[in-house]
Amino acid sequence: MRIEWPTLLLAVFCYVLWFATAFWPGHLPPLLAVPLLALAMVLHASLSHETIHGHPFAQPRWNGALMSLPIGLLVPYGRFRDTHLAHHRDADLTDPYDDPESNYLDPAVWAGLPVWTKRLLLVNNTLAGRILLGPVIGQAAFMAGDLRAIRAGERGILREWLWHGLGVAGILLAVALWGTVPLWAYLAAAYLAAGVLKIRTFLEHQAHDRARGRTAIVEDRGPLAFLFLNNNLHVVHHMHPRVPWYRLPELYRAQQARFRAVNDNYVYRSYGEVFARHLLRRKDPVAHPLRAARAMDQGAARATGQGEALRP
């Protein structure tokens, strides 16, 4: 039986950090408890991504059981799994209908939006807007897309949300009854964690006429790279999705020139560069710049949140 111990031990650390911060006697001040809880939630989301790709166990049901506790509150594990695996069809990357994690809208949809919605989404296409507003916009759009699917008869999606709702209710009840942090602090930590995760997803992909040029590299080795489990080397992950997080940097260093050539040098040297370039400046238009506009049709229901899906 294969067990990838670095991933399993990090998952244990993640749950210990979460439990100790939320429930350990001692009542940490919120100014300390909120960032510690957010740290655990970001790690949990990144580890959930690892389990979807077959780590640390060979058996998918064990991987799902390991990370299915919804400590971050927002997204059902099963929905993240299904939409993320669909996202890995690289030929569909950034398509506002066929890529569930696209941040683009169909130009026809964009043209028909009210002015205030357009302004809100333009702000959301700056890094500051994505961190501050993105969790609300993404969650609302993600849930609206799944609600449309449920109304269309997708019972599996309804089942995932019902199990998720039970898990979230149990966690919030436990925090309210036995937690050593206020409930508002736990909710604030969940929002902070979602905002931090938006830093990673902000520029993972771009519109490009060739699929291989759509996926980014951020050559960062600092705290954010660790929290994201090296998924900032995103083109490496897309080309080798079964490689565990702790081997991605070595693989990138061994073939750096090749990966840069593959993605047409869509590279940032660090997250510092990302912040400097895009904190207050938009990286992309909201409407997909390379896609011909088409009217909304029955297939549009597949677009999770119309290009603003929440991605753990």
pLDDT band at 309 (very low <50, low <70, confident <90, very high): very low
pLDDT band at 292 (very low <50, low <70, confident <90, very high): low
Report pLDDT digits (tens) over 8-18. Answer: 999 999 999 99
Helical axes 30-52 vs 183-201, angle rounded to 10°:
50
Percentage of the chain with pLDDT > 90?
83
Report pLDDT digits (tens) over 78-137. Answer: 999 999 999 998 888 999 988 999 999 999 999 999 999 999 999 999 999 999 999 999
- In this prediction, residue 1 carries a pLDDT of 57
Segment 47-70 mean pLDDT: 94
pLDDT band at 302 (very low <50, low <70, confident <90, very high): very low
31: burial class by Cβ within 10 Å (0-12, 13-18, 19+)?
Answer: exposed
Phi-psi group of 286: left, alpha or beta (phi > 0 → left; psi -120 to 50 → alpha; rest → beta): alpha
- In this prediction, residue 54 carries a pLDDT of 93
- In this prediction, residue 12 carries a pLDDT of 97
Segment 56-63 mean pLDDT: 93
Owner of token pair 């949809």:
109
Instruction: Check whether 26 has a pLDDT greater than 60.
Output: yes
